[in-house]
């Protein structure tokens, strides 16, 4: 049956400890804890969510536990890109307790989650072969939803929980959402921020029209290469994760120089050669194990689905949604990078793409911080951030991404934002504490 629930009385309770029954683990300390109640199918369930640290997959990682009625039900562990995403992953289990390995095996109710491959997110010994959900560490509502689904699938949903007291009707039920960090600012002030973002972008990089922004990575030689070679552009999108953008967009050129070519057929046939070329000092990427797999997989997909020509991914005036979905199907490319690539293809590489009003922002750490501190968004939740951009700049939502990224990188720093120098300073409400959970460079 479908799962519906309402999160009530959620409050932050500070640090806490939990004693595991396994003596090798002992007592685990959680630096942050939330407690509250979930009303699910007419029954009240005590919930708790804690964030701590534990040694996992070869090193110390951020670790979370979500309890239902005092029983640990779901655990999460930091993905390799945690410093950027602040997200943890949790393996998806089928009702028979085995790991789900294909999307067709996902239990009912997982449609709202970001589903990833466990090994793509944690490239380490003993990382699992199967699917996982990826959730921001403090998105308590989503962790509770996952815990309730897990308990349901294991036949333990609400076992022993007392029925909730009936409440008066309160109108239609809506999808539960994480608590807001603060009350929204008024729409006119949000639109003032949007206008300033767009003005900054036009001043820095020119009009918001197709083919008006020639540079991508800032390196003339690398820029020429990714403009001329479609497969190089695809690989640059894959490389653009967890390293500076300038380094990522030069990586295809450096890989070509090391291999002597950038031919998809040769790359797909020589995975060990590709891995050695990426590993060789200075390594082309910090993720030296999974990046070669992504590159080889991309070459194979281009051969099997696009006739060996990466340009066929976006040739023929497809829609923004079509291009985004095609790119998102490549291992190593997520919503963030697919959305970014659509905007770059249209504006930087002069690719005809229809329906650019459906080109979304790329949700990364810089955009998250800027959207929260300026009040454009109230919650650090990807779907909410995307909807906010669509609502506030419906003609071209993705246009808000480059200026937000640049401002987050140059002025709106995590620890000490340079508000007086920031181009948004006159219109920004400076809600700095509202991005407290968004950390990074």
pLDDT score of 322: 94
Rounded to the nearest integer, the mean pLDDT of the chain is 86
Express each pLDDT in 179-219 by its tens digit.
444 567 899 999 999 999 999 999 888 888 876 666 666 67
pLDDT score of 299: 96
The top-scoring range by mean pLDDT among 12-26, 83-97, 298-312, 351-365 is: 298-312
Asked if residue 286 has pLDDT above 70, the reply is yes
Which is higher by pLDDT, 180 or 155? 155
Burial group, residue 102, by CB count within 10 angstroms (0-12, 13-18, 19+) = exposed
pLDDT score of 184: 78
pLDDT score of 102: 85
The whole-number average pLDDT for the span 168-175 is 39
Asked if residue 278 has pLDDT above 90, the reply is yes
CA angle 183, 189, 190 (to 5 degrees): 75
pLDDT score of 236: 95
The whole-number average pLDDT for the span 228-242 is 93
Which is higher by pLDDT, 135 or 156? 135
Express each pLDDT in 350-364 by its tens digit.
899 999 999 999 888
SS (H, E, C) the chain: CCCCEEEEEEEECCCEEEECCCCCCCEEEEEEEEEEEEEECCEEEEEEEEEEEEEECCEEEEEEEEEECCEEEEEEEECCCHHHHCEEEEECECCCCCECCCHHHCCCCHHHCEEEEHHHHCCCCCCCCCEEEEEECCCHHHHHHHHHHHHHHCCCCCCCCCECCCCCCCCCCCCCCCCCCCCCCCHHHHHHHHHHHHHHHHHHHCCCCCCCCCCCCCCHHHHHHHHHCHHHHHHHHHHCCCCCHHHHHHHHHHHHHHHCCCCHHHHHHCHHHHHHHHHCCCCCCCCCCHHHHHHHHHHHHHHHHCCCCHHHHCCCCCEHHHHHHHHHCCCCCCHHHHHHHHHHHHHCCCCCCECHHHCCCCCCHHHHHHHHHHCCCCCCCHHHHHHHHHHHCCCCHHHHHHHHHHHHHHCCCCCCCCHHHCCCCCCCCCCHHHHCCCCCC
Express each pLDDT in 113-144 by its tens digit.
888 888 888 887 778 888 999 999 888 989 99
The whole-number average pLDDT for the span 230-246 is 91
Domains annotated for the chain, with CATH where assigned, are: 5-153 (no CATH), 180-209+359-441 (1.10.1670.10), 211-352 (1.10.340.30)
């Amino acid at each position: 049956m479908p799962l519906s629930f309402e999160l009530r009385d959620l409050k932050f309770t500070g640090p806490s400890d939990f004693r595991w029954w396994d003596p090798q683990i002992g007592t685990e300390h959680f630096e942050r804890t939330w407690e509250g109640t979930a009303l699910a199918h007419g029954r009240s369930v005590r919930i708790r969510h804690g964030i701590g640290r534990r040694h996992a997959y070869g090193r110390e990682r951020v670790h979370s536990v979500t309890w239902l009625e005092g029983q640990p039900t779901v655990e999460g562990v930091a993905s390799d890109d945690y410093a950027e995403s602040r997200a943890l992953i949790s393996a998806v289990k089928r009702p028979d307790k085995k790991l789900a390995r294909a999307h067709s095996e996902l239990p009912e109710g997982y449609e709202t989650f970001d589903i990833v491959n466990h090994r793509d997110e944690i490239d380490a010994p003993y990382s699992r072969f199967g699917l996982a959900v990826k959730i921001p560490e403090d998105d308590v509502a989503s962790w509770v939803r996952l815990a309730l689904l897990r308990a349901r699938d294991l036949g333990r949903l609400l076992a022993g929980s007392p029925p909730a007291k009936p409440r008066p009707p309160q109108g239609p039920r809506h999808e539960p959402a994480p608590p807001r960090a603060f009350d929204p600012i008024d729409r006119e002030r949000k639109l003032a921020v949007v206008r300033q973002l767009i003005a900054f972008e036009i001043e820095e990089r020119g009009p918001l029209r197709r083919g008006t922004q020639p540079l991508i990575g800032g390196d003339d030689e690398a820029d020429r290469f990714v403009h001329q070679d479609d497969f190089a552009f695809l690989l640059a999108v894959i490389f653009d994760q967890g390293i500076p953008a300038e380094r990522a967009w030069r990586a295809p050129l450096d890989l070509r120089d090391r291999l002597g070519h950038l031919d998809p057929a040769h790359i797909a046939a020589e995975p060990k050669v590709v891995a050695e070329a990426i590993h060789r000092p200075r390594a082309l990427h910090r993720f030296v194990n999974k990046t070669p797999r992504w590159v080889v997989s991309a070459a194979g997909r281009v051969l099997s689905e696009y006739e060996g020509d990466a340009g066929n991914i976006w040739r023929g005036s497809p829609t923004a949604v079509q291009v985004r979905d095609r790119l998102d199907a490549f291992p190593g490319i997520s919503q963030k990078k697919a959305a970014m690539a659509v905007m770059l293809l249209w504006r930087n590489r002069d690719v005809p793409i229809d329906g650019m009003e459906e080109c979304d922002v790329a949700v990364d750490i810089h955009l998250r911080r800027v959207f929260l501190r300026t009040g454009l968004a109230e919650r650090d939740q990807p779907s909410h951030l995307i909807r906010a951009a669509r609502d506030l700049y419906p003609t071209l939502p993705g246009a808000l991404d480059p200026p937000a990224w640049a401002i987050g990188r140059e002025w709106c720093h995590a620890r000490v934002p340079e508000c007086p120098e920031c181009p948004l300073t006159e219109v920004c409400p400076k809600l700095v504490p509202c991005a407290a959970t968004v950390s990074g460079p």
